[in-house]
């Protein structure tokens, strides 16, 4: 029996929508262009903020590209890839999210023009990949070597990252703070350098002005001081770090004890009190003035330690114990009976600030003047402190990356324009259609200086034309200055790896989207 070859074969659900051909690419490109346009106005020192009103009712004002894309509810699959691109830049580099998304959007925008003229998307992909390889080679030649102890260049990197995040008056102060912090935590480990942003902590002082912010060589905790008389400042403090309870070990558990005489009960109590006395004496015999522990503290032991002018901070988690040990040079002791003088760390001062007791406000313990590789940036002020800290952390990561990699590139659109000019020159030697993709890549690179000039209030086209001519005459250190004019930007430095990673991942994402010729939606939208 023969079956009809014309009978329909159903392989997907009826409500599944399949979009194919040029329509797919144009739809994706349109969504990516829309996402890029949201971020465009935030780029550079003259970029503006975005007001984010989230679904939970929270309202925030920010210019941080990473936060903006994280809070957006994206539906389009292409735009979701751009969000993933931005998150990748944030995760690996810590800065440059906005410029990365803008460049990816520009690549897709240029591709859209070529697609409408009938150019095969794979030709564009080949051109983009060839152009990327040439651009990275050229940028490698332009890298500026930055030594780990070159404070001037590192301060410029930090200041560049902070541009547009904090006021110019505080930018120099915070840049110096970041360099000082990293100088403290940087360690030579064999042939490599350990310089991690995670070794720099941040604390909200919740008082004063931003100019009152300071660097603490140690840690700051918001914890209740167990006894009022323990408050106050101490100098030349020896610190014990205990991952244990400060109380005698229980002799019995779940036991029922009967006493035939009162004297027997009193003797039992006396034995327990003697155990507490011995414990307190052994703790004090170690020479410690500050006891940091993770568990509970026996009240009798607590009072005996307080009588000796010692400070006790309890209920600390493992991370807090590790941080104070790292800062002070103490060893984390698992059993209180093992505590010895060699396990103690040191701090120049410990200030236990007693605050009015409320449900939210806690006392502050400031451990300062430590010699270990861990510091805390105490950020003062009451307005937009979280955004300031976010900007400082991005600058911190950018600067630490520069220390580890030892290389920087001039920013302000100068590196992008230098790469663009080099790529367009290389395109002259290409005699097939791949040249179209290479030239498109070169134009896409110009989106960064174009946007910087536009956000600064200058005529973007005039600035771009002037920048092209100036770079050919004065060299690659010419870019868009904060006021929108074209000039020397040798003091504007970014981590070389930040720009390289941005160009590479943005190109990869754009090429992935251009290879997509069909979108299948199981939801039917």
Structure confidence at residue 29 (pLDDT):
82
> Can you give the pLDDT at residue 12?
58
| pLDDT number for residue 252 | 47
Q: What SS3 state is found at 166?
A: strand
**Spans of the chain, pLDDT less than 70:** 1-24, 55, 168, 249-275, 356-361, 517-525
DSSP 8-state code for residue 48: P
CA distances to 22, 90, 366, 381, 442 from 203, rounded to whole Å, are: 52, 22, 11, 11, 44
Long-range Cβ contacts of 138-143 (<8 Å, 24+ apart):
138/418, 138/419, 138/422, 138/423, 139/409, 139/415, 139/418, 139/419, 139/496, 139/499, 139/500, 139/503, 142/409, 142/410, 142/415, 142/418, 142/476, 143/407, 143/408, 143/409, 143/496
Give dist(CA 236, CA 368) in Å, integer. 10
> Rounded to 10 degrees, what is the CA torsion of 82, 87, 92, 93?
80
Separation CA 146–CA 402 (nearest Å)? 7
pLDDT per position as a tens digit, 252-262: 455 555 655 65
3-state secondary structure 126-158: HHHHHHHHHHHHHHHHHCEECCCCCHHHHHHHH
Q: Within 13 Å and on the Cβ side, how many CA atoms surround 221?
A: 20
CATH classification (class only), 17-145+409-521: mainly alpha
> Residue 72 has what pLDDT?
78
Q: Which phi-psi region, left, alpha or beta, contains residue 118 (left: φ > 0; alpha: ψ -120 to 50)? A: left
What's the residue count for the chain? 525
3 state SS of 507: helix
In this predicted structure, what is the pLDDT of residue 110?
93
Q: Rounded to two decimals, what is the model's pTM?
A: 0.83
- The vertex-206 CA angle with 201 and 207, nearest 5°, equals 125
- Tell me how far CA of residue 309 lies from CA of 235, 352, 383, in angstroms: 12, 12, 38
- List the one residue out of 85, 86, 65, 124 whose CA is nearest residue 434: 124
**Within its chain, how far is the Cα of 138 from the centroid?**
28
| Separation CA 416–CA 96 (nearest Å) | 13
**Cα separation, 272 vs 165, whole angstroms:** 59
Per-residue pLDDT of 416-461, as tens digits, reads: 999 999 999 999 888 899 999 999 999 999 999 999 999 999 999 9
CA nearest neighbour of 106 among 517, 516, 503: 503
Write the DSSP string, 367-428.
Answer: EE---SS-EEEEE--SSSHHHHHHHHHHHHHHHHHHHHH-EEEETTTHHHHHHHHHHHHHHT
Instruction: Please report the pLDDT score of residue 254 as a whole number.
Output: 52
Extended beta strands in 150-213, E state = 187-189, 192-194, 200-204
C-beta separation of 355 from 364 below 8 A: yes
Is 466:53 a contact under the CB 8 Å cutoff? no
Domain parsing of the chain, residue ranges = 17-145+409-521, 218-248+259-371
User: Domain 218-248+259-371 - what CATH class?
Assistant: alpha beta
Contact between residue 374 and residue 322 where contact means Cβ atoms under 8 Å apart? no
- To which residue do tokens 């330690």 refer? 305
């Amino acid at each position: 029996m023969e079956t009809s070859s014309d009978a329909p074969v159903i392989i997907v659900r009826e409500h599944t929508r399949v979009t194919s051909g040029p329509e797919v690419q144009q739809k994706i490109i349109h969504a990516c262009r829309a996402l890029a346009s949201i971020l465009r106005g935030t780029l550079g020192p003259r970029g503006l903020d975005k007001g984010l009103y989230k679904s939970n009712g929270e309202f925030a004002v920010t210019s941080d590209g990473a936060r903006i894309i994280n809070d957006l509810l994206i539906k389009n699959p292409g735009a979701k890839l751009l969000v993933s691109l931005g998150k990748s830049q944030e995760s690996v580099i810590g800065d440059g999210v906005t410029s990365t998304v803008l460049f990816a959007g520009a690549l897709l925008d240029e591709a859209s023009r070529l697609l409408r003229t009938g150019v095969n998307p794979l030709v564009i992909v080949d051109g983009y990949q060839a152009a990327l390889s040439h651009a990275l080679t050229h940028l490698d030649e332009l890298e500026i070597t930055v030594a780990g102890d070159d404070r001037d260049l590192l301060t410029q990197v930090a200041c560049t990252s902070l541009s547009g995040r904090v006021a110019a008056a505080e930018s120099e102060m915070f840049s110096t703070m970041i360099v000082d912090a990293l100088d403290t935590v940087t360690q030579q480990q064999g042939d490599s350098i350990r310089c991690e942003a995670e070794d720099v902590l941040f604390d909200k002082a919740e008082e004063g002005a931003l100019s009152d912010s300071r660097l603490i060589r140690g840690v700051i905790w918001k914890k209740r001081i167990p006894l009022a008389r323990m408050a106050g400042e101490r100098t030349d403090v020896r610190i014990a770090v205990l991952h244990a309870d400060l109380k005698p070990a229980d002799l019995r558990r779940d036991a029922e004890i009967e006493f035939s005489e009162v004297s027997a009960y009193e003797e039992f109590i006396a034995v327990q009190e003697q155990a507490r006395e011995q414990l307190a004496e052994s703790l004090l015999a170690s020479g410690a003035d500050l006891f940091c522990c993770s568990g509970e503290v026996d009240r009798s032991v607590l009072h005996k330690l307080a009588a000796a002018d010692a400070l006790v901070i309890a209920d600390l988690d493992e991370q807090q114990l590790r941080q104070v040990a790292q800062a002070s040079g103490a060893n984390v002791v698992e059993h209180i009976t093992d505590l010895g003088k060699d396990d103690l760390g040191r701090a120049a001062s410990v200030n236990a600030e007693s605050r009015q007791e409320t449900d939210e406000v806690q006392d502050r313990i400031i451990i300062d003047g430590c010699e270990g590789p861990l510091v805390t940036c105490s950020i003062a002020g009451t307005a937009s402190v979280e955004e300031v800290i976010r900007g400082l952390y991005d600058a911190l990561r950018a600067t630490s990356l520069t220390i580890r990699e030892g290389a920087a590139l001039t920013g302000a659109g100068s590196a992008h324009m230098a790469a663009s000019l080099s790529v367009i020159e290389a395109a002259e030697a290409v005699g097939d259609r791949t040249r179209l993709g290479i030239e498109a890549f070169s134009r896409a690179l110009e989106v960064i200086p174009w946007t910087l000039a536009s956000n600064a209030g200058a005529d973007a086209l005039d600035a771009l034309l002037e920048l092209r001519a100036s770079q050919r005459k004065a060299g690659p250190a010419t870019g868009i200055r904060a006021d929108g004019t074209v000039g020397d930007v040798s003091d504007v430095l970014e981590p070389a790896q930040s720009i390289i990673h941005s160009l590479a991942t943005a190109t990869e994402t754009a090429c992935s989207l251009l290879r997509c010729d069909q979108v299948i939606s199981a939801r039917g939208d």
